[in-house]
Structure 1
Amino acid sequence: MEEDGNQHPFLTDAWLVPLFFSLIMLVGLVGNSLVIYVISKHRQMRTATNFYIANLAATDIIFLVCCVPFTATLYPLPEWIFGNFMCKFVAFLFIVIFFGTFKIQNFTPRPTFYPLKSLRHRTPKVAMIVSICIWIGSFILSTPILMYQRIEEGYWYGPRQYCQERFPSKTHERAFILYQFIAAYLLPVLTISFCYSLMVKRVGQPTVEPVDNNYQVNLLSERTISIRSKVSKMVVVIVLLFAICWGPIQIFILFQSFYPSYEPNYTTYKIKTWANCMSYANSSVNPIIYGFMGASFQKSFRKTFPFLFRHKVRDSSMASRTANAEIKFVAAEEGNNNNSLN
């Protein structure tokens, strides 16, 4: 009996995966937009570190708008309907954002660990220059995908067109998959883990050295250690989420290409679908990690939406006065030290 090209099976993933992607888009767009809004609304939030965070938030928004909808249509539709240009563009943009996001992550938490040493070069202007260089590098590293991503003819309940990678040989395929795995996942994870582990070692080292019988300096030293401890926990969450969200799909693609006995079936299809959902979900959790785990974001968010935090306004104002007093004390101490050196 001949298959009817107009009647293909409508599987569970045809509605479940797009529904999950819609949830990812909703959470991601709202969260990342709030991060950008809070940074732009409050002048004290316009720092170099927050510039990187806003850059990440904008990147996630572009990813959610330009990549997620096209990927979601792969499940209810039997074929790719957006043409060869969009086939290459979506795949290219996906890799560019992946490379760029990892690189920007390396620059985000450093001022907390090196606040005095980084003051001169940690400015919004320098952050903008660094970000531009990062994205130029990401575009260059992502160009190989343009050579291999294309429209291919296939058959599934009738002739179909699919957007997929097509390599000249199995050797080319394995070389590209290995390059992508090392450059886009393994090196980022190892680099981030190594750099952040060095930073975490500095958590117990105060920026302001304790002084005998000087209560204010000792208090500020303890507060510095406490702030670093909180940031170190955030750093651990960042690394773990990056590895957990992107690991399954990267490892699956590597296994698919290098395991000689691999044969696609419905089980491997479900595993790959789940792995894809995990990688896309990373863009919706980034605002929670980069934004709302930070004390400055929490404070600014309360100011922006005070009706949500009425019962905490008094406590936050008290903490703000304490923090301002400590900052003034540090500035005075630095001024005295500079005068004594001169």
Structure 2
Amino acid sequence: MYSSEELWNSTEQVWINGSGTNFSLGRHEDDEEEEGDKHPFFTDAWLVPLFFSLIMLVGLVGNSLVIYVISKHRQMRTATNFYIANLAATDIIFLVCCVPFTATLYPLPGWIFGNFMCKFVAFLQQVTVQATCITLTAMSGDRCYVTVYPLKSLRHRTPKVAMIVSICIWIGSFILSTPILMYQRIEEGYWYGPRQYCMERFPSKTHERAFILYQFIAAYLLPVLTISFCYTLMVKRVGQPTVEPVDNNYQVNLLSERTISIRSKVSKMVVVIVLLFAICWGPIQIFVLFQSFYPNYQPNYATYKIKTWANCMSYANSSVNPIVYGFMGASFQKSFRKTFPFLFKHKVRDSSMASRTANAEIKFVAAEEGNNNNAVN
């Protein structure tokens, strides 16, 4: 039996579990009448899990292909691509270990997986989100280093260094996420019968706010500020005049321009990935802050819908990155074609026919020009 003051923080859990009616974890006078009733089944009870299933399908296939392509082709094993592979690994772990359990909260009236899974899923979700943030920060720092110190970066930016950094990212993410184990637990409640809920339980409102603020700073604000600082440096460096080669060699100039173009494309791809993360995870981070710090916050069906949308946005981030690689990464496109030639056979045939047609047209034009010259002479 819980008092309403002790259970105030638990009220929001009701809205996560698919109910639009009033609810309290304490028992009401008419509990005996409701004991045998079935809980209501709302639209979000099937719509949200369906959307999560689509996210899982796209994300697992896309991120698995990214890791497979990087591991299969030696030329793809660059420092940047190691960070991309690490990012894909965090997305896969998040999709497999966290999304299915969250999806069950909508059709089911309570948590059915026990106390260990309650702590484990919440902890792993925090670890993967934290690892994603630090990996994106490392990628941005890597691109900044290449842009600001292009010659020094040739010595220090190696796949081995990227692998060591990635391992350190995972270790740091596990350490930074340990507080979640202290506060996540099973709570007994009542919703059309006795139920169990997996939620964060804090000793006081001050502890709750401190923890939420810590999560916001460590898993969102600090990485975004660091990334913004890195790209500010990059923009300033790109605006400065480049150093011309000592000799006015055409091939050296061409190679220099090509290198700058490739680096620019890679940097743009990293920028898009970072922006997508900030946009997808921003709503849920801001909502949780508002929920905890706004004194007049009252959970209702409107806030439930906003939080559901924000959760869907954050989970969708794990499936969009491979799409970005496919559209913006030229090296990924080439490697995909090599790995799966049967998918691109028609496109290759069309391009070869187009090139043969173009060659024929060039020869015809050249022959016509030759005939005209002979006629003039």
TM-score (norm 2): 0.74
Over the aligned positions, Cα root-mean-square deviation in angstroms equals 10.0
CA-to-aligned-CA distance 1:35-86 (integer Å, 9 cap, x gap): 0111121121122322221121122111110000000000000000000110
Q: Structure 1 residues 255 and 108 mapped into 2: Cα distance closer, same or farther (>3 Å)?
A: closer
**For structure 1, which runs of at least 5 residues remain unmatched after alignment?**
94-104
The answer to whether the Cα contact below 8 Å between 2:73 and 2:335 also exists between their aligned partners in 1 is yes
**What stretches of structure 1 move > 4 A for 4+ residues in a row?**
105-112, 204-208, 210-213, 311-342
Quick one: structure 1 residues 190 and 128, their matched pair in 2 at CA, closer, same or farther if it must change by over 3 Å?
same
When structure 1 is superposed on structure 2, of 284-293 and 175-184 the one drifting more is: 284-293
Report the Cα offset of residue 33 of structure 1: 0.8
User: Matches of 1:226 and 1:214 in 2, distance apart?
Assistant: 18
| Cα distance change of structure 1 residues 184 and 332 upon mapping to structure 2, 3 Å threshold | farther
Return the offset for 1:338. Answer: 51
Query: C-alpha distance in 2, partners of 1:185/1:341?
Result: 73
Per the alignment, in what secondary structure is the counterpart of residue 163 of structure 1? strand
**1:139-198: CA deviation from partner (whole Å, max 9, x where unpaired):** 111111111000011111122110000100001111111111111111111111111232
Q: Which residue of 2 aligns with 1:146?
A: 181
Q: Is the 8 A contact 2:183 2:201 kept in 1?
A: yes
Which of 1 and 2 has greater Rg?
2
Residues in 1 aligned to 2:67 and 2:374: alpha-carbon distance in whole angstroms = 40
| Pair 173,219 (structure 1): closer, same or farther in 2 beyond 3 Å | same
Q: Percent identity?
A: 94
Report the CA distance between 1:131 and its aligned residue: 1.4
1:131 to 1:143, Cα distance in 2 relative to 1, 3 A: same
| Farther-moved stretch of structure 1 (138-147 vs 316-325) | 316-325
Provide the rounded CA distance (Å) in 2 between the counterparts of 1:334 and 1:147: 82
Residues 210 and 217, structure 1, Cα contact 8 Å, conserved in 2:
yes
Q: Render the CA deviation track for 1:260-316: whole Å, top value 9, x for unaligned.
A: 110101110111011001101111012223465211111111111223333665999
Structure 2: gaps spanning 5 or more residues: 1-32, 133-148
Secondary structure of 1:221's match?
helix
- Residue 185 of structure 2 aligns to a residue whose secondary structure is strand
Q: Report the TM-score, using the length of structure 1 for normalisation.
A: 0.81
Distance 1:323 1:299, change over 3 A: farther
Match for residue 98 of structure 1?
A: none
Structure-2 change in CA distance of 1:220 and 1:328 (3 Å): farther
Distance 1:55 1:3 in 2: 49
Indicate if the aligned counterparts of 1:246 and 1:279 stay in contact, CA closer than 8 A.
yes
**Alpha carbons 1:91, 1:145 under 8 Å: kept:** yes
Q: Residue 321 and residue 117 in structure 1: after superposition, are their counterparts in 2 closer, same or farther (change >3 A)?
A: farther
Once the two structures are TM-superposed, the CA of residue 4 in structure 1 deviates from its matched residue by 4.2
Q: Quick check: 2:212–2:289 contact (8 Å CA) kept in 1? A: yes
